[in-house]
Amino acid sequence: MDLDLGICRDLHTFNGNQAKCIYIKTNFLECQSTGYINYLQLFYCNSNQTNLQSYILFFLWLLLLFYLLGDTASTYFCSSLKGLSKTLNLSPTVAGVTLLSLGNGAPDVFASIVSFIGDDAGANEVGINSILGGAFFVSTAVVGIICISIGKNQVSINRNGFIRDVLSLMFCLSCLATIVFVGKLNLFVAVGFLFMYTLYVFLVSASEFCDGGGGRKKLVLPVTTHLETPLLLPANSVSDEKSSTGGENKKWVMILTRFIMLPIDLPRRLTIPNVNEENWSKPFAVISVGLSPVFLGLIWIIPNEENPNPTPLLYLAAAGVMTGSVAFFTTNRSKPPAPEKRVLIPWLVSGFVMSIVWSYLLAEELVSLLLSLGLIIGISPSILGLTVLAWGNSLGDIVANLTMARNDGVSGAQIAITGCFCGPIFNTLVGLGLSFSVACWKTYPLRYQIPTAMDYDVYETMGFMAVSLVWSLVVLPMTGMKLGRVYGGGLLVVYLCFLSLKIVRVVGLI
C-alpha cells in the first residue's frame, strides 16, 4: 500500500494529535506507508511520548537506516561484486565502470527504484530528486571541499579525462531535462538511459586504451577503495590503527562498537551469504545459506496474501535445509572456497541477490520515513529528496574521496575527482534508467507521466548544476588543471546559493 499524499495532506486541517490520529485510522489504507512501520500512526497516536520525543526517535532511526543502507552496500553488496569481478576475470576498467560503480551507487539506485515501485507521485518525486540532489552535491560540494583541503599542494589532474567526464555529465543532464520538460516517456526511452551508460563505458575504455592504460590498473572509478571499509571509517583507518600509538584504544572502541551493533548486524549476517576471506565464518555461512530462502518467503509471500498458505514456506524451508547441508559438507572451517573453484559462483550470486533484497527493504523503509516526515513537517517530498536523502547517501563519497585526496597524493586526488563525476553519471543513467523502466513497464503500452514535469525544484536543481559544470569546464583548464581554492570555493558558493534558496522557500520567505 502506498502513502497517498493527496488525501493525507488533509491531515493538517485537524487540530491536535488525537483528531489527527482518528483521521489516520479512518483513512488507514491511504495513509499507510510503503514500509513496514506506519510512521504517521506512530507519531500522532502514541500518547506516551511528546512530538519532540517522536522527532528525536525518527531522526535517530533515519541515521540508522542511512548507516545500514550504506553498510549493506559496502560489506555485502560490494564484496559479492568484487568476487564476481575476480571470478569472471573482468578487466579493471570494465569492472570499475560496471560492477564497482553499481556497488558505489547502490544506495542511490535502490532508493530511486523503490520510489518508483508505487503509484504515489510524491514518492516518484523523491526518487528523481534524490538522484539529482546526490549528483549535484557530490559534483559541487564534495569536489569543492576536496579542492580547498588540498589547494596548497597544487595538485594537477588529467585534462582529457576530466573534460570527458564533465561533458558526459552535462549530456546526461540535458537528456533528463528534455524528458522532464516533455513530461512523459515510454519504455524505449527509459531503456535508452541504460544504453547510454553502455556507450559511456565504451568511451571510457577506448580513451584509457588510447592513453596507454588498457592493460594496467590505471583507472579506478567510483568505488574501488572506500566500500571495502565500514561506511563511517576512513579507508586507511585499519592500516593506521596498527602503527599509531592509540591503536589499542581504537581496537577496544571497535570491539565495543561491534558489540553494540550486534543486534542490528546479526539479521543480515544470518541471511546474506558472505565468502569474503576477512569476514569468513563457516557457521554463519551455513546458516545464511539455509535461512535466505525462508527469509525471502517471509518478506514477500506472507505479506502479499490475506490468508497465507504455509505450503510455499515449507518448500522454501526444505530448500534451505538442503542448501545449508551442502554448504556444511563442502566448505572449510578456516577459509572460504577458493576463487578459482566453480562452487564459489553460487555463493557469490546468492550473496549478491540477498544483499539486493536487504538494500531494497532498507531503501523502502528510508523513503517511507522521508515521505512521512515531509507530511508531518509540511515539507515537499522533493525537498527532502534533494537534501536529506542526497546527503545521507553521499556520506561515503565525502569520507572516502576526501581521505584519498589528502593521503594518496596525485593519484588519490585523480581518483577522488574522477569518482565525483563518474558516480553521478552512473546514478543518473542507471539509477533513473532502471527507475523509469520500472515505471514505464507498469503503464505499458501507455507512456509514463512524469509527476515532476511542473516541479520547479527539478528545474532549479538542474540549472544550478549546469552552472557548476560550466564553472568546472572554464576555471579548471584556465588554472592548468590544478585543484585550487578558487575553483573549489566557486563550487561551494554555487551549492550554498542553491541551498539558501531552498531554505528561504521552506521557511516561507518566498
Under a CB-based contact definition with an 8 Å cutoff, are residues 132 and 465 in contact? yes
The verdict on 182 and 304 lying in the same domain is no
Question: Which class for 450: exposed (0-12), middle (13-18), buried (19 or more C-beta within 10 A)?
Answer: buried
- Give residue 239's pLDDT: 42
Question: Count of alpha carbons within 13 Å of 422, Cβ hemisphere only?
Answer: 29
The verdict on 83 and 111 lying in the same domain is yes
Residue 37 is assigned to a structural domain of this protein: yes
The verdict on 298 and 330 lying in the same domain is yes
Q: 324: domain range?
A: 281-334
The verdict on 303 and 195 lying in the same domain is no
pLDDT tens, residue by residue, 123-161? 666 777 778 888 898 899 889 998 998 878 888 888 888
pLDDT tens, residue by residue, 18-32? 888 888 888 766 676
Residue-wise burial string across 76-101, b where 16 or more C-beta atoms lie within 10 A, e elsewhere: bbbbbbbbbbebeeeebbbbbbbbbb
Tally of domains in the chain: 2
The verdict on 89 and 233 lying in the same domain is yes
Under a CB-based contact definition with an 8 Å cutoff, are residues 106 and 77 in contact? yes
Q: Which CATH number is 159's domain given?
A: 1.20.1420.30
The verdict on 294 and 259 lying in the same domain is no
pLDDT tens, residue by residue, 61-107? 988 888 887 788 777 876 777 777 677 776 555 555 556 566 566 66
Cell of 162: 576530466
Residue 276 is assigned to a structural domain of this protein: no
pLDDT tens, residue by residue, 334-355? 887 765 556 677 888 888 888 8
The verdict on 247 and 356 lying in the same domain is yes
The verdict on 321 and 368 lying in the same domain is no
The verdict on 305 and 377 lying in the same domain is no
189 pLDDT more than 70: yes
Residue 439 is assigned to a structural domain of this protein: yes
Residue 339 is assigned to a structural domain of this protein: no
Residue 340 is assigned to a structural domain of this protein: no
The verdict on 398 and 425 lying in the same domain is yes
Average pLDDT, the chain: 77
The verdict on 243 and 368 lying in the same domain is yes
The verdict on 310 and 373 lying in the same domain is no
Under a CB-based contact definition with an 8 Å cutoff, are residues 24 and 376 in contact? no
Q: Whats the size of the chain, residue-wise?
A: 510
Evaluated on CA atoms 78, 82, 87, 88, the torsion sign reads positive
Under a CB-based contact definition with an 8 Å cutoff, are residues 64 and 44 in contact? no
pLDDT tens, residue by residue, 258-313? 777 788 888 998 998 887 777 788 888 889 988 988 888 887 765 555 566 677 77
- Going by pLDDT thresholds of 50, 70 and 90, the confidence category of residue 374 is confident
